[in-house]
Amino acid sequence: MDETKDKLICMTHHIDDISLEKLKKELQDEKEIDILSSTFKALSDSTRLKIIYILSKSSLCVCDIASILDMTQSAISHQLRILRDMKLVRFKREGKLVIYSLDDDHVLGLFEQALDHVKHK
């Protein structure tokens, strides 16, 4: 690597050193950043986003979700497992039926804010 490039250091900072250190310390929790990254990865799939959208309107079983998306129950179950592992959706059993819903209002907020951003002109 070119050592000249390594020595080119910004000598002017927009904010003071104390503020820079504070920001640096706030980034130290790698575990939280990794979980956040995994959450965005889970939401980066169009099928999973469609599932989030559908579940934002109504709690549904795998069969209903598969029917709406014209996919197999197996494929939907796989996507739901990923969303469940990331704590984006939850389920409850009603007899033999398993009903899925969004885990909490934060998931809906993430989805709605991202959608608003996409629609923003």
Q: Quick one: CATH architecture of 15-119?
A: Orthogonal Bundle (1.10)
Q: Name the stretches of the chain with pLDDT < 70.
A: 1-8, 10-13, 28
Amino acid letter, 45: D
Tell me what pLDDT residue 37 has.
92
Whole-angstrom Cα distance, residue 56 to residue 41?
19
Tell me what pLDDT residue 61 has.
97
pLDDT tens profile 9-44: 766 667 777 888 888 887 767 888 899 899 999 999
